[in-house]
A and B are shown apart, each in its own frame.
Chain A
Amino acid sequence: MKRAEIVTAFVLGLLSLYLMWKAGEPPSWNPDVGRFANIGMIEGEGPGSGFWPFWLSFAMLLSCIWIAINWFRGTSPQSQSKEPFLDAYGIKMLVLVGGGLIAFLVLISFLGFYAAIFFFMIYYMFVLGRHPWVTTMSVSIGLPVISFFFFDIAMRIPLPKGYLEPLFIPLYDIFL
């Protein structure tokens, strides 16, 4: 926890610097304007387009420095904490659940939402939750079927189907 606090403050500080730099970017169609020309007052227009994001990012940077000072002086609870940022359970949880979510996203881009939901639910309920097959399968099949009828059929919001698109054409013929 102790190390994570200062590392995070440092990373967020860098992010703030990047945002400040990016906020001062001149529009690409106007090469005469220099960087950071837009962060102050512009005659007759009030504050420029970069004014708000630049100074707020600057405030972000200051808060990161403040967090770092608190860390060095040991005044914030995190800077004194001896607990790990994520213990073994936390890391395992993040890999299994967070990894599962990323895999879910990748699956969506190949197989579409409905098939991805099916596999994700099996993974989560059977592999992680150790629920019996009957419960797992009824939810894993029921959820995509309900979603299909709700979104694609009732609401006419087609969810992506990836390579499985052809399989759905007969269903459209029947229900739409």
Chain B
Amino acid sequence: MEVLVALSDGILVALEPLNLGLAVLGVIVGLFVGAMPGLGSVNGVAILLPFTFVIQSMTGSATSPMIFLAAIYYGAMYGGAISSITLGIPGASTAVATTFDGRPLALKGQADRALVTAAVASFVGGTISTMLFTGFAPMLASVALDFGDPEIFALMLLAFATFVGLGGDDIPKTIFSICIGLVLATVGFDIVSGEPRLIFFDSVNWFSRGIQFLVLAIGVYGIGEMLWTINSSRYGTTMTNVDVSFSRIMAALRSFPEAWKGTTIGSLLGFFVGILPAAGATPGSLMSYGVTKMVSRDPKQFGQGSIDGIAAPEAANNSASTGAMLPMMTLGIPGSPTTAVLLAGMVIWGLQPGPLLFSEQPDFVWPLIGSFYISNIVAVLVNLACIPLFLWMLRMPFTILAPLIFVLSLIGTYAAYQNPYDVWLMVLVGIAAFFLRLLDYPLAPAVLAIVLGPIAEPKLRQSLLFSDGDFSIFFTRPIAGPITVIALILIFLPLLKLIRDKIRGRRAA
């Protein structure tokens, strides 16, 4: 009951004209970055994070800028389907699975039906997961209130371990990426001892104030990823013509219930996969597609333009994006680069993310949760109403879009701290990120690590101070113990697999 009262108050705040306007704007930006191949939600939130300082200084609260960024995040999940269906290339990695059936259906001349199904499935997935979030988040936050430093550190270790064990990227490269992120986060003055650390080129004094998260995030996602996209998307694409009219959209809406199975599976599975760090929306949507195909009565339809095959991944990626918010909001541990940017934003706006957020900042939390509901309604309406507009925007040549993003990245980086060195560092980071990306170094763990580093290190040091330098503290406490063990298993999982394969290989020989 308490929750419902808080939620309805929150929804009212989210409906205030400014917040509603920001939600609409955020959704439009999100739909756009989601639909544009090469751009995803993380590019959108990273490049626009500096602009939210402006919103914060205007409104004086952290709620409005967060509503804006969260709306971008949701909008992008809707937008990804647009290019998956009409171009056959996913607008974002989260919409890869949508191409499997969305594209074939579009080639059959039913692109409108595919787009409407994707939009409505996204809405259902987003709303169901928001309800699950509303139910679970306060509970999880109150459980997490008892967590001490060793528990929080163990959870962070677990977040990184999932990248190593389940991330699917090259393992030493993933470990490298995590570690360099954590190390770069220490540049500046040590908050415990006050000693300078890793201040490169001491004489020029560039690094004594540390490396700002924004500089790295915008470098990676505004410059590095863009260069990579320009390099890899050199061939032209053909866009399917979409016949959109009011009556056709209505007809597609009426036939949506046929996709109930995929929508339900995607909504539920997506949420729980989304909660896991390193999993998130992309595996969530792929898994939901697979499961829906498995339980379908007519699995042969999949890949030929099955309506369930569109609904499942689309419901799942929206649901997973809400699921990913759960550990970020309740534990202060983001599971994906986008939620890492959101967390960094909360820190910059002066909030202390973590379990205390729910008890101490209800004025922030509940309007935000309220805005999840509102943004989903806004997103489905804008999406359906503006299909022709987005199709037109998709024709925007990359030679206009790319320089615009470069300019936005540079201006945003400067405007955030008004330091010209940041802009240089940002571009250099971007170029370095481009080279690492070419060699398949995963960059998401590094971005996550830069955000978590300043939180994880004090937790580790506090824990070890408390235990007199004895690492067993992470194993002997009732909650921290199992978490640490699971984290270590995940880290060593690849090694165990290797040994198993060796033994099998020997037996076979």
Which A positions have Cβ atoms within 8 angstroms of B?
A: 1, 4-5, 8, 12, 19, 22-23, 25, 27-28, 38, 41, 45-53, 56-57, 59-60, 62-64, 66-67, 70, 76-78, 85-86, 89-90, 93-94, 97-98, 101-102, 104-105, 108-109, 113, 117, 120-121, 124-125, 128-131, 135, 139, 143, 147, 151, 155, 157, 159-160
Contacts and interface: CB of A to CB of B under 8 A. Distances in A.
Contacts of A60: 175-176, 179-180, 183
A157 B231 CA distance: 34
The winner among A27, A56, A62 for most chain B CB atoms within 10 A is: A56
Interface stretch (B5-13, B60-68, B292-300, B435-443): B435-443
B399 interface: yes
Given A124-B406, A160-B414, 10 more contacts: A38-B193, A38-B195, A46-B462, A56-B182, A108-B420, A120-B407, A125-B399, A125-B403, A131-B399, A151-B411
Contacts of A63: 172-173, 175-176, 179
Contact of A124 (B54, B190, B196, B399): B399
B193 A45 contact: yes
Nearest to A124: B403
A90 B435 contact: no
B423 interface: yes
B176 A67 contact: yes
A49 B186 CA distance: 10
29 contacts: A1-B439, A22-B198, A45-B192, A45-B465, A47-B460, A47-B461, A47-B465, A49-B193, A52-B460, A59-B179, A63-B176, A67-B170, A76-B170, A77-B440, A78-B440, A89-B231, A89-B234, A94-B231, A97-B230, A97-B402, A98-B227, A101-B406, A105-B427, A108-B410, A121-B407, A125-B403, A130-B399, A157-B415, A159-B411
A86 B223 CA distance: 17
B223 A105 contact: no
Contacts of B180: 60
A46 B460 CA distance: 9
B389 interface: no
Contacts of B457: 52
A159 B415 contact: yes
A129 B397 contact: yes
A110 to B, nearest CB: 12
Interface string B37-77: 00000000000000000100000000000000000000000
A134 to B, nearest CB: 13
Contacts of B54: 155, 157
Contacts of A41: 464, 469
A53 B197 contact: yes
A27 B183 contact: no
A90 B438 CA distance: 11
Interface string B394-411: 000101101110110011
A79 to B, nearest CB: 11
B399 A46 contact: no
A167 B404 CA distance: 25
Interface in B65-94: none
Given A4-B439, A97-B230, A101-B223, A128 B399 contact: yes
A50 B330 CA distance: 30
Given A52-B186, A56-B179, A104-B410, A85 B197 contact: no
The winner among A86, A97, A117, A129 for most chain B CB atoms within 10 A is: A97
A140 to B, nearest CB: 9
Contact of A46 (B418, B436, B461): B461
Contact of A52 (B230, B430, B461): B461
A93 B231 CA distance: 7
A77 to B, nearest CB: 7
Given A12-B176, A52-B182, A53-B198, A139 B400 contact: yes
Interface in B253-301: none
Contacts of A131: 397, 399-400
Contact of A56 (B183, B192, B438): B183
Interface in B177-225: 179-180, 182-183, 186, 190, 192-193, 195-198, 200, 223
A75 B192 CA distance: 43
Contacts of A12: 176
A160 B413 CA distance: 13
A105 B431 CA distance: 14
B424 interface: yes
Give 9 closest A-B pairs by Cβ, nearest first.
A129-B399, A46-B465, A66-B172, A124-B403, A41-B469, A63-B172, A63-B176, A49-B190, A49-B195
